[in-house]
Structure 1
Amino acid sequence: MTCAARHVTAIVLENVPLAERTFRIRLAAPQVAATMRPGQFLMLRLPGRTDPLLGRPFALYDTVLNDAGECVALDVVYLVLGKMTRPLSELQAGDAIEVLGPLGNGFLPIPPAKSVWMIAGGIGQTPFLATTRWLRGTRGYAGDAPRQLAEQVEFFYGVRSASFAAGVADFAAAGATVSLASDDGSIGHHGRVTELLPNDRRPDAILTCGPEPMLKAVARWALERGIPCQVSLETPMACGVGICFSCVTKVQLPQSGWDYKRVCVEGPIFSADSLFWET
């Protein structure tokens, strides 16, 4: 069950670099953190600014617990690109920021599995730390008790170069087996992340997030082998709550043809076989 979104003003606890132009910001927003699930997102807005006027969507990296096991904060990882993320990277501990969340549907429950693969490209790794802990059963989210869903979690992560590989140690510490690929060969496999996928074995499920060409390739790979695949879309958004319809994506209809669904409300997670992939 998805909890209602809350609009709160959060205090920045820390804002630290993880990789080239990549930061992790920790926000004291316990009411939001306690209701978030892996795969959901937040809208963040810098108070007192009109450019950008609207908030921007950011995936949950993970929630933060105190010694009593209570959610006290949440982490977001972001890449510095434009008008929102540049000033976001300049925030210091004690600064305030507006938070709206949780938003979206989050990753859909999967039957207990022997093996789950998570496949990410670029900044698409951000939803997968909380997801790893959820699958491994080391953390519960949104009030649910921890429950192991996968015996093994493998994380395939592609970046343009070694300097952009963010949070690799976090994923390994959370219990994922990490395999890396880079466009320039400076870390891991020299080539696309999809070239890392073994052909001699199959997972029970695949979760993926990243650039659209990578998502298409992963979805095709999974569908050809009959493997359930959930896709987390990185569609640009404006309102984040389904009012403006600026983030629609094409989905297949049961009989034939296609229709639009809002990524911010009906997504951002979709089954790969429900999406209408442009050729």
Structure 2
Amino acid sequence: MSGPAVLPHADAVQTTATVAAQKQIAKGTFRLSLNCPTIAGRIEPGQFLMLRLPGRDDPLLGRPFALYDVADDGASFSIGYVVIGKMTRLMAELTAGETVELWGPLGHGFPEPDASGAGPTLMVAGGIGQTPFLAAGREILGAAAYGDRGRFAPPAHPPELLYGARSAEYVADVPRFEAAGIPVSVATDDGSLGRHGFVTELLAERLAGERKPARVLTCGPEPMMKAVAKLCAAAGVPCWASLESPMACGFGACFSCVVKVRDDRSADGWDYRRSCLEGPVFPAETLTFD
């Protein structure tokens, strides 16, 4: 591939990247850093890219990965992933200097930071769902500007990450969030770290508190996001959900990632949207979670 090829998806390009570093950050969980100024300079928090291992026909298709963060030099970025299948097992063997194929940035990310001063942003994550929130949090803090348009808003209230996991060994990169100025509260199913229980219990406490959040961003297992959306709706707090839908192409051609959304214009009251194209971030109140 001689250079980036422009794809029919906004600012997306098809290109290659060189592995800069790889680090295990929790049980079966890795952070992969890639040298690719073309995508690093364009991608925004909440967007994703498709990654494929070159020279292989098994697995043949690429896999979607959300932006973790962009390095301060603007030349590289990182993604996070959990080893759960053949593709991710092979990715865990990548070492510095190896090459991967990419296309992106893809999809619509989180809304721009709210500098109104109305209240803090809560970011609610489950499992690997913390991945998109380091960049989102740094942007809210005004510590970094993302995308070729330089999204930036003066910070109002520091964001907070509410992070749920099965147990302490699956909790990834908390010191990295805290070093960026993002407080983290953890809940684990077995009580081995933080609150013994679900992350939604932490959210319910924040929504009922005096310092009510201005908005909530969430990413993780669908049952968790459904519960988050319900809590936010009851409290009258806007919520955006970043879906983890399986994807095959990443730019809307295959329709493998469709999700049901509420649509008053439809006779049935709902319609389908492509998560890769109209999402992966949706206003939570539009999702049926069916």
TM-score of the superposition, structure 2-length normalised? 0.91
Q: What residue number does 2:85 align with?
A: 82
Change in Cα spacing, 1:228 to 1:149, as seen in structure 2 (3 Å) is farther
1:116/1:150 contact within 8 Å kept: no
Q: What residue number does 2:287 align with?
A: 275
Superposed CA deviations along residues 15-69 of structure 1, whole A, max 9, x for unmatched, are: 1111111111110111100000000001000001111100000000000122xxx
Within a 5 Å distance, the mapping from 1:211-226 to structure 2 comes to 211-226=221-236
Point out where structure 2 has 5 or more consecutive residues left out of the alignment: 1-8
1:61/1:77 contact within 8 Å kept: yes
Mapped to 1, the partners of 2:67 and 2:289 lie a distance apart of 26
SS in 1 for 2:261: strand
Mapped to 1, the partners of 2:180 and 2:250 lie a distance apart of 29
Q: What residue number does 1:159 align with?
A: 165
Q: Does 1:24 pair with 2:17?
A: no
Amino-acid identity (%): 51
CA RMSD of aligned residues (A): 1.3
Q: What residue number does 2:105 align with?
A: 102
Q: Does 1:132 pair with 2:137?
A: yes
Aligned counterpart for 1:58 among listed residues 62, 65, 79: 65
User: Cα distance, 1:146 vs. partner?
Assistant: 3.6
Q: Which amino acid aligns with 2:16?
A: T
Within a 5 Å distance, the mapping from 1:1-279 to structure 2 comes to 3-66=10-73, 71-112=74-115, 113=117, 114-143=119-148, 144=150, 146-197=152-203, 198=205, 199-201=208-210, 202-254=212-264, 257-278=269-290
User: Cα distance, 1:175 vs. partner?
Assistant: 1.5
Change in Cα spacing, 1:206 to 1:59, as seen in structure 2 (3 Å) is same
2:113/2:139 contact within 8 Å kept: no
Superposed CA deviations along residues 199-255 of structure 1, whole A, max 9, x for unmatched, are: 223200000000000000000000011100000000111111100000000010135
Q: Which has the higher strand share?
A: 1
Mapped to 2, the partners of 1:83 and 1:162 lie a distance apart of 25
Alignment coverage as a number of residue pairs = 273
Mapped to 1, the partners of 2:103 and 2:71 lie a distance apart of 17
2:160/2:182 contact within 8 Å kept: yes
Mapped to 1, the partners of 2:129 and 2:10 lie a distance apart of 24
Mapped to 2, the partners of 1:145 and 1:21 lie a distance apart of 33
Change in Cα spacing, 1:80 to 1:150, as seen in structure 2 (3 Å) is farther
SS in 2 for 1:133: helix
User: Cα distance, 1:174 vs. partner?
Assistant: 1.4
User: Cα distance, 1:110 vs. partner?
Assistant: 4.5
Change in Cα spacing, 1:173 to 1:3, as seen in structure 2 (3 Å) is farther
Q: Which amino acid aligns with 1:86?
A: R
Point out where structure 1 has 5 or more consecutive residues left out of the alignment: none
Mapped to 1, the partners of 2:260 and 2:154 lie a distance apart of 33
The more displaced of 45-54 and 194-203 is 194-203
1:134/1:148 contact within 8 Å kept: no
Q: Which amino acid aligns with 1:95?
A: E
2:112/2:152 contact within 8 Å kept: no
1:3/1:35 contact within 8 Å kept: no
Change in Cα spacing, 1:257 to 1:75, as seen in structure 2 (3 Å) is same
